[in-house]
Amino acid sequence: MAESSTLSTVWSVAAAIILSFGGGGAIVALLSIWLGKLWAERLMERERAAHEQELSRLRADLEARNQTRLAEIQRELDIQQEKQLGRHREKLEAYRNVVDVVTPLLADFNRALGKRLPPKEVAEAVEKFDRERLRLYGYLALVLRFTITMT
- pLDDT tens, 43-91? 999 999 999 999 999 999 999 999 999 999 999 999 999 998 988 888 8
Q: How far apart are CA 13 and CA 76, in angstroms?
A: 93
CA max distance for the chain: 168
What is the domain count for the chain?
1
How far the first Cα of the chain sits from its last, in Å, is 122
* Whether this model's pTM surpasses 0.85: no
In this model, does residue 105 exceed pLDDT 90?
no
Is 105 in a helix, a strand, or coil? helix
Most confident region among 3-7, 17-21, 34-38, 137-141 by mean pLDDT = 34-38
Q: So what's the pLDDT on residue 20?
A: 67
Q: How far apart are CA 143 and CA 136, in angstroms?
A: 10
Residue-range definition of the domain harbouring residue 143: 2-150
